[in-house]
């Protein structure tokens, strides 16, 4: 019981860690990536686990190399999905 409560509080923390450079920053300065029901990577708020990244391609590539997406999302993330998101990364600045 206490374990799940702690996890909820952690998810609501205003400080998140970038999975690329491991820097702790206010969540407003980071970009959230999560998996939708079909296994596609999506940027922005959503249900389930999220991976947080700086708005920086270097962080994205670092996370990609270290397989940090799969670890953060606790799921197998298709390499094709990561590649697709990478192509869109510099363009999806909205939000």
Kindly list the residues in this chain that would bind Zn ion in the complex (CB under 5 A).
18, 20-21, 54, 59
Smallest distance, Å, CB 23 to Zn ion? 5
CB nearer to Zn ion: give 23 or 36.
23
Q: Give the chain as a 3 state SS string.
A: CHHHHHHHHHHCCCEEECCCCCCEEEHHHEEEEEECCCCCEEECCCCCCCEEEECCHHHHHHHHHCCHHHHHHCCCCCHHHHHHHHHHCCCCCCC
Nearer to Zn ion, 23 or 39 (CB): 23
- Beta carbons of 41 and 35 less than 8 angstroms apart: yes
- Least spacing, CB of residue 15 vs Zn ion, in Å: 13
The least distance separating Zn ion from the CB of residue 1, rounded to whole angstroms, comes to: 34
For residues 39 and 44, which CB has a smaller minimum distance to Zn ion in the complex? Answer: 44
């Amino acid at each position: 019981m206490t374990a799940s409560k702690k996890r909820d509080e952690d998810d609501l923390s205003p400080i998140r860690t970038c999975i690329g450079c491991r820097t702790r920053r206010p969540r407003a300065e980071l970009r959230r990536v999560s998996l939708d029901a079909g296994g596609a990577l999506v940027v922005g708020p959503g249900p389930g686990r999220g991976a947080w990244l700086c708005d920086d391609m270097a962080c994205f590539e670092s996370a990609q190399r270290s397989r940090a997406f799969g670890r953060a999302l606790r799921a197998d993330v298709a390499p094709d999905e990561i590649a697709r998101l990478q192509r869109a990364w510099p363009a999806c600045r909205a939000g």
